[in-house]
């Protein structure tokens, strides 16, 4: 699926959601949300070396391109990490942008 990772995540009122990673809060986009999740491990998560490399390479691709092809496994990984790390609002917005067919179920 071709994904535009520059798309911003919005709250229920259509205003930007902010991502705060310790510095100045920035508007949350598919790109900075995915890169943050892929590049950082979850608390107490042990990531096998092969999985860490897959995450790194995917984070680099998402970081470097405004639009890119993501396969089902890559989208599933990003959405799983999103659901484990963020609120249902953020997860729902990421689903809208990465796997809109899931909302029709």
The pLDDT of residue 61 is 97
34 closest CA partner among 104, 102, 70: 70
Q: What is the pLDDT of residues 51-91, one digit of tens each?
A: 999 999 999 999 999 999 999 999 999 999 999 999 999 99
**pLDDT value at 94 more than 90:** yes
Q: Which two tokens stand for residue 41?
A: 């491990």
Q: Write the DSSP symbol of residue 4.
A: E
Residue 34 CB neighbours (<10 A): 27
Least confident of 5-9, 10-14, 39-43, 85-89: 39-43
The mean pLDDT value of the chain amounts to 92
Model confidence band, residue 29 (pLDDT cutoffs 50, 70, 90)? very high
Among 78, 38, 29, 81, which Cα is nearest to 57's? Answer: 38
What's the rounded mean pLDDT across residues 5-21? 93
Beta bridge partners of 69: 2
């Amino acid at each position: 699926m071709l994904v535009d990772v520059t798309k911003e995540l919005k709250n229920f009122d259509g205003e930007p959601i902010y991502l705060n990673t310790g510095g100045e809060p920035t508007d949350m986009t598919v790109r900075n949300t995915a890169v943050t999740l892929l590049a950082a491990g979850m608390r107490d998560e042990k990531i096998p070396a092969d999985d860490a490399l897959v995450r790194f390479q995917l984070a680099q691709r998402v970081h470097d391109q405004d639009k890119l092809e993501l396969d089902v496994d890559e989208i599933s990984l990003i959405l799983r990490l999103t659901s484990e790390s963020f609120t249902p609002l953020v997860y729902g917005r990421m689903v809208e942008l990465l796997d809109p067919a899931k909302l029709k179920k």
